């Protein structure tokens, strides 16, 4: 989380929401940030595969 506390992240997200934001907007932003954090943790832990391997697995050619 780049050195910030969870509370600091939540406040930062809340500060960027427009005045007419809904609870759905809040939930979306929180899940978006959580998803990015999970992805970055996977990268740091080496739990990723090269895009070329993924494309090959699905039969996608360039």
> Domain extents for the chain?
6-57
pLDDT of residue 1: 62
Q: What is this structure's pTM?
A: 0.73
Q: Supply the pLDDT for residue 62.
A: 76
Helix, coil or strand: residue 18: coil
What Cα–Cα distance (Å) separates residue 38 from each residue in 1, 18, 28, 43?
A: 10, 26, 15, 9
| Ordered per-residue pLDDT tens for the chain, 62 residues | 668 899 999 999 999 999 999 999 999 999 999 999 999 999 999 999 999 999 999 999 87
Q: Which helix (DSSP H) or strand (DSSP E) does residue 36 occupy?
A: helix 23-45
In 10 A of CB 10, how many CB atoms? 15
- For residue 34, which of 16, 9, 3 has the smallest C-alpha distance? 9
């Amino acid at each position: 989380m780049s050195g910030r506390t969870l509370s600091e992240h939540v406040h930062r997200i809340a500060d960027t929401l427009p005045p007419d934001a809904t609870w759905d907007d809040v939930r979306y932003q929180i899940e978006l940030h959580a998803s990015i954090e999970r992805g970055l943790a996977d990268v740091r832990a080496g739990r990723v595969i090269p895009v070329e391997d993924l494309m090959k697995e699905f039969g996608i050619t360039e």
